[in-house]
Amino acid sequence: MTNEADGTIPTTCNNPVLWKRIREELSIGNNVMGTVICRRPFGVFLDIGYGAGAFALLLVPDFKDARIRRITFDDFPLVGDSVSAWVINIDFENRKIALTQNPPSAVLHNRREDGTPN
């Protein structure tokens, strides 16, 4: 768990057993439910059920309605809130999981093979 007030960001772990499990169970396009553990100006970190060190990031542009209206920090889900999102990228080398609340077909269509936006 992180302390939002001190500005820390969750760190990933290099536990090979944990990331092997993630590789076997999680795929791009999967819908996941997570709990907000940290809010930052660029997005929120979620615990998606794999334990400490396997957090997912939901960036502001990937928030629901972010393309329709301007999202402010006050609009972000609060620490402890449950959030539903889709997996749009899993970077096993750097131990990062990226999420979106926008329909994955539209999001994935506008991404390069490595998961970054076109």
In angstroms, rounded to a whole number, what is the distance separating the alpha carbons of residues 52 and 97? 13
Among the residue ranges 4-8, 16-20, 30-34, 84-88, the one predicted with the least confidence is: 4-8
With helix as H, strand as E and coil as C, how does the chain read? CCCHHHCCCCCCCCCHHHHHHHHHHCCCCCEEEEEEEEEECCEEEEECCCCCCCEEEEEHHHCCCCCCCCCCHHHCCCCCCEEEEEEEEEECCCCEEEEECCCHHHHHHCECCCCCEC
CATH number corresponding to 31-118: 2.40.50.140
Domain boundary assignment for the chain: 31-118
Determine contact, residues 99/35, Cβ cutoff 8 Å.
no
Q: What is the rounded average pLDDT of the residues 95-117?
A: 71
pLDDT in tens, 46-89: 999 988 778 999 999 999 877 777 888 898 999 999 999 999 99
